[in-house]
C-alpha cells in the first residue's frame, strides 16, 4: 500500500480517539460478542489491498495490519451492522493491547465516485462518525486475531436512501491510529430498491507464465487433469454466464499432438465445445495485443508457419478439429500458402506413426489448428490502461472489430458500450473489475470477503446511478487468479439482489462515440519489448542458414508471443528479457570447434580440416571462410560450403598451398550464403612442415640401403671364414718328407 493511501487513512481517522469512543460507550452503545482468539502463523499473510500500515516502522517495532469486511453485503432497516476484522502483527516485536474503533456514515449514500476515492485511499474531508469500539488484544510477532463487532441499529444510524455506506475499522494504540481498513455496506430499504444492475464477466482460459511455443503432452496432462488449472477454470464458469477469452495455443497444441495428446486434454476440448458460455479468441499465449503498438508503433507480430506434415490418422473429430480441417474421412487441408514443412524442432511432434501408416504430406497451418467456432469473433482484450488511439487504429487494420477497454481510459463513456473510430468498445468498469480481481487473487478468505464487500458496494452504486447500463468485470490474466476464488466470485455476485449476471454479447453498433486516452506500459517494459523485437529480427536473418528457416522462425515467433503474454503480470519485463537472452543463445549454437594448434606435415597442396558444430535441432548449410595472415600459406578456396545435420558436427576441408615451413595464423569465420557472420572470427595457429616428406623419404632410403650394405658385407665375411676353414691341412701333414 502506498504511503499516500496510509497517510490519507490516518488523517481521516484522527478524530476517532479514545474520548469520543468512551463517550459512545457511556451512552450505552453495545458491542456485540467479540472473539479475540489469537492464531499463530509461521508466515505473515499478505494484507488486503485496502489495508493500511504505519509508515516506515523499524524492524524492532510492531506492525499492525487490518482487514475488515461486513459479514453481509447489505443491511435492512432496523438490523445491526456486523463486521469481521482480522488483525495481524507483522512487525519485529509484540504489540500492546489497544482498541478497535469502528466508524460509519449511516445517513449519507456514497456515490460511485465517492466509493472509488474511498477504496483508493484518498484523503477525506472529515472522519466518519464513531459508532463502536472493541478491545484489540496484544499480539506476538506473526500472531493474528479475528474480532467480530456488531454495531446495533440505533448506533449505526442507517437512514435515508437505498445505497452503499462508508465503513472504517481503525486499530488504536493509545490516542494514535496504528492501522485502518476501509470497507462499505449497502443500506437496503426494500421499498426503494433499484432494478438489478446487469453484470457481465469475462475471464481468460489460458496458461499464464508459460514460455512454451506450444504446450507439450506433459504440460497438457497437468493443466487438464482433475486438479489442473484449465479444468478448474471450466468447473468455475460452467453453468454461469461468464465469458471466456480462450488462448489458441491450448487448442492448437492439443490438436497438433492428435492421438498422442492426453485423454484429459481432448476431453477438455470436447467440454469446451459443449459449454453455453460465450467465447472469443485471445492472442496466441494471451499476448498483449497492443504491447508492440505502445513500444514500437507496430502491430503484434502474427503467428507464422505450419504445424508440420502430420499423419492424417492422428486426427479424428473427437479431438475437436473443425470440419473444414477434418471431414468425414480423415484428411488434412493445406493452407493457401503453406510454407515448407518444418523439421521436428519446429513444433512438438505427434507420436510416431507405424511404418505402414499412411502419411499425408500436406501441412496445416497453426491458424487452422487453432480454429474454433467462437461466439464472439474478432475481439481483442488489451491490458488495463494499455489502449491508445494508435492501438485502436492498428487493431482495426488487423481485422479487430470489438475491443475490451476500461472506462478509466475513455472520455465520455458512461455506458457499457462505445465507439472509437471504426472499433466498437465493450467498456469494462475498472473500479469494479479491480475489486473482482481482489476476490479472485486473494490468498486468504478474509481478503476475498473484503474485496467482495467492495465489489458489492460499487455495483450497488451503479444500480442507483446507471440503471440499465451493464457493468463488465474484466478479470485477472495472471497465475495469481484462483479457479476456486473465481467460483466464489461468480456465486457471490449472483447472490446479490442488485446484480444480475448475463452473457457477454456484441456491443451495439449504435453506441455513442468516445475518445480513447493514451495508454502506457509498465516502466522498463517498453525498452525490453523494443530490444526483443530487434532480437527476433536478427534471429530471422540467422535462420537463413537452416535448410528450412521456418523450423527456427516459427518457434521463435511463438516464443516471442509467449514472452508478451499478459499472464506474466509483474514479471513481464523479466519474461521479455529472457526471450532476448535466448536469442543470443540461439545465435551461438553454430560454432567452430577450436583447436589450440593445427600441425600440417605436407608439401605443396593439401586441405586444412576445420570442424563446425551445429547445436540447432535442424540441418543447416554454412560457409567456412579462411584467411591466412602471411604469404607462407595460400588459401585456394576461401569459401567452403558445409552442410551439417541438426545436433551434429561436420568437417570443412579447406584447400590450401604451403609455400615455406613455419608457423602461420589463419582466421576462420562461419558465414551464411549472403556473407553475414554466423560464428567467429577466430584465429588458429597453423604449423607448416613443408618438404618433410622428401627429406624423410631420402633419410629412410639411405637407412635401408645402409642396412642392406651392412648385411651384404657381413655375409661375405661369413663365407670367407667358412672357406678358409674348409682348406686348412690335416694334422702332421707339414712334417712329412718329400
Architecture, CATH, for domain 590-689 = Sandwich (2.60)
Q: What average pLDDT does the structure give for the chain?
A: 83
- The alpha carbon of 311 is separated from its chain's Cα centroid by a whole number of angstroms, namely 31
Answer yes or no: is pLDDT of 41 > 80: no
Cβ pair 624, 672 in contact under 8 A? no
Beta bridge partners of 100: 134, 171
- Tell me if domain 3-192 and domain 590-689 are identical in fold: yes
CATH 3.20.110, domain 199-516, yes or no: yes
**pLDDT tens-digit map of 363-405:** 788 999 999 999 999 999 999 999 999 999 999 999 999 999 9
Which residue's entry shows cell 493443466?
223
Answer yes or no: is pLDDT of 237 > 50: yes
Distance CA 515, CA 506 (A): 20
- Give the 3-state secondary structure of residue 592: strand
Distance CA 309, CA 705 (A): 69
For the residues 113-121, what does the mean pLDDT come to?
95
Instruction: List the grid coordinates of 156.
Output: 449505526
Predicted model pTM: 0.80
Least confident interval from 413-417, 418-422, 716-720: 716-720
pLDDT of residue 336: 34
Which residues, including other chains, have CB under 8 Å from residue 162's CB and lie 6 or more apart?
109, 186, 187, 188, 189, 192, 193, 194, 464
Q: Which helix (H) or strand (E) holds 172?
A: strand 163-173
pLDDT of residue 338: 34
Which CATH number applies to 3-192?
A: 2.60.40.10
**pLDDT tens-digit map of 145-179:** 999 999 999 999 999 999 999 999 999 988 889 99
Where exactly are the structural domains of the chain? 3-192, 199-516, 525-587, 590-689, 695-720
Would you place residue 597 in the very low, low, confident or very high pLDDT band (cuts 50, 70, 90)? low
For the chain, report the end-to-end CA distance as a whole number of angstroms: 147
pLDDT of residue 606: 79
Is the CA virtual torsion 437, 439, 444, 449 positive or negative? Answer: positive
Instruction: Kindly state the DSSP code that residue 78 receives in the 8-state scheme.
Output: T
For the residues 87-93, what does the mean pLDDT come to?
92
Q: Report the range out of 35-49, 458-472, 618-632 with the highest average pLDDT.
A: 458-472
Answer yes or no: is pLDDT of 692 > 60: no
Amino acid at each position: 500500500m502506498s504511503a499516500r493511501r496510509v497517510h490519507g487513512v490516518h488523517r481521516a481517522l484522527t478524530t476517532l480517539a479514545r474520548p469520543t469512543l468512551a463517550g459512545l460507550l457511556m451512552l450505552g452503545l453495545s458491542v456485540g460478542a467479540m472473539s479475540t482468539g489469537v492464531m499463530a502463523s509461521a508466515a505473515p499473510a499478505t494484507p488486503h489491498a485496502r489495508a493500511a500500515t504505519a509508515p516506515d516502522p523499524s524492524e524492532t517495532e510492531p506492525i499492525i495490519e487490518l482487514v475488515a469486511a461486513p459479514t453481509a453485503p447489505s443491511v435492512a432497516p432496523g438490523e445491526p451492522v456486523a463486521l469481521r476484522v482480522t488483525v495481524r502483527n507483522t512487525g519485529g516485536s509484540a504489540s500492546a493491547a489497544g482498541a478497535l474503533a469502528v466508524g460509519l456514515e449511516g445517513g449519507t449514500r456514497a456515490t460511485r465516485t465517492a466509493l472509488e476515492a474511498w477504496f483508493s485511499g484518498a484523503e477525506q474531508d472529515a472522519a466518519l462518525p464513531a459508532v463502536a469500539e472493541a478491545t484489540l488484544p496484544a499480539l506476538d510477532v506473526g500472531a493474528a486475531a479475528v474480532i467480530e463487532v456488531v454495531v446495533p441499529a440505533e448506533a449505526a444510524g442507517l437512514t435515508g436512501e437505498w445505497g452503499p455506506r462508508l465503513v472504517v475499522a481503525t486499530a488504536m494504540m493509545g490516542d494514535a491510529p496504528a492501522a485502518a481498513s476501509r470497507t462499505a455496506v449497502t443500506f437496503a430499504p426494500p421499498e426503494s430498491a433499484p432494478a438489478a444492475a446487469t453484470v457481465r464477466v469475462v475471464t481468460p482460459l489460458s496458461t499464464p507464465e508459460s514460455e512454451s511455443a506450444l504446450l507439450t503432452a506433459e504440460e497438457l496432462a497437468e493443466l487438464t487433469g482433475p486438479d489442473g488449472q484449465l479444468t478448474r477454470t471450466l468447473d468455475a464458469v460452467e453453468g454461469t454466464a461468464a465469458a471466456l477469452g480462450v488462448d489458441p495455443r491450448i487448442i492448437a497444441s492439443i490438436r497438433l499432438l492428435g492421438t498422442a495428446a492426453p485423454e484429459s486434454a481432448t476431453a477438455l476440448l470436447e467440454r469446451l465445445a459443449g459449454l453455453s458460455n460465450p467465447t472469443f479468441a485471445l492472442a496466441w499465449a494471451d499476448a498483449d495485443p497492443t504491447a508492440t503498438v505502445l513500444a514500437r508503433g507496430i502491430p503484434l507480430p502474427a503467428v507464422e508457419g505450419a504445424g508440420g506434415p502430420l499423419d492424417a490418422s492422428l486426427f479424428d473429430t473427437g479431438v475437436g478439429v473443425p470440419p473444414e480441417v477434418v471431414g468425414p474421412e480423415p484428411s488434412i487441408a493445406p493452407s493457401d500458402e503453406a510454407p515448407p514443412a518444418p523439421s521436428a524442432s519446429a513444433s512438438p511432434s505427434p507420436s510416431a506413426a507405424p511404418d505402414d501408416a499412411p502419411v499425408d504430406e500436406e501441412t496445416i497451418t497453426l491458424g487452422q489448428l487453432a480454429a474454433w467456432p467462437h461466439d464472439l469473433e474478432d475481439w481483442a482484450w488489451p491490458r488495463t490502461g494499455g489502449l491508445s488511439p494508435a492501438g485502436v487504429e492498428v487493431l482495426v487494420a488487423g481485422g479487430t472489430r470489438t475491443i475490451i477497454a476500461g472506462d478509466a481510459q475513455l472520455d465520455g463513456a458512461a455506458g457499457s458500450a462505445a465507439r472509437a473510430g471504426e472499433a466498437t468498445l465493450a467498456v469494462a468498469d475498472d473500479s469494479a473489475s479491480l475489486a473482482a480481481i481482489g476476490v479472485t487473487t486473494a490468498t486468504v478468505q478474509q481478503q476475498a470477503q473484503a474485496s467482495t464487500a467492495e465489489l458489492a458496494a460499487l455495483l450497488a452504486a451503479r444500480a442507483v446511478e446507471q440503471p440499465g447500463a451493464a457493468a463488465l468485470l474484466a478479470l485477472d490474466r495472471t497465475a495469481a487468479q484462483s479457479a476456486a476464488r473465481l467460483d466464489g466470485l461468480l456465486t457471490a455476485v449472483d447472490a446479490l439482489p442488485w446484480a444480475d449476471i448475463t452473457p457477454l454479447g456484441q456491443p451495439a453498433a449504435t453506441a455513442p462515440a468516445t475518445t480513447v486516452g493514451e495508454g502506457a506500459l509498465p516502466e522498463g517494459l517498453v525498452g525490453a519489448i523494443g530490444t526483443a523485437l530487434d532480437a527476433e529480427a536478427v534471429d530471422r536473418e540467422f535462420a537463413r542458414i537452416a535448410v528450412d528457416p521456418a523450423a527456427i522462425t516459427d518457434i521463435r515467433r511463438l516464443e516471442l508471443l509467449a514472452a508478451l503474454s499478459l499472464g506474466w503480470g509483474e514479471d513481464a519485463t523479466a519474461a521479455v528479457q529472457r526471450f532476448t537472452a535466448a536469442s543470443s543463445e540461439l545465435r551461438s549454437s553454430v560454432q567452430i570447434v577450436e583447436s589450440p594448434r593445427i600441425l600440417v606435415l605436407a608439401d605443396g597442396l593439401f586441405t586444412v580440416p576445420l570442424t563446425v558444430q551445429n547445436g540447432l535441432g535442424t540441418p543447416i548449410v554454412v560457409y567456412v571462410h579462411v584467411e591466412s595472415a602471411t604469404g607462407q600459406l595460400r588459401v585456394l578456396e576461401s569459401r567452403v560450403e558445409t552442410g551439417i545435420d541438426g545436433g551434429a558436427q561436420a568437417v570443412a576441408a579447406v584447400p590450401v598451398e604451403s609455400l615455406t615451413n613455419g608457423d602461420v595464423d589463419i582466421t576462420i569465420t562461419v558465414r551464411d550464403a549472403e556473407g553475414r557472420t554466423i560464428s567467429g572470427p577466430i584465429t588458429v595457429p597453423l604449423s607448416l612442415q613443408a618438404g618433410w616428406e622428401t627429406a624423410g623419404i631420402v633419410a629412410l632410403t639411405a637407412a635401408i640401403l645402409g642396412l642392406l650394405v651392412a648385411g651384404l658385407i657381413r655375409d661375405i665375411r661369413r663365407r670367407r671364414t667358412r672357406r678358409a676353414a674348409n682348406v686348412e691341412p690335416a694334422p702332421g701333414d707339414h712334417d712329412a718328407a718329400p
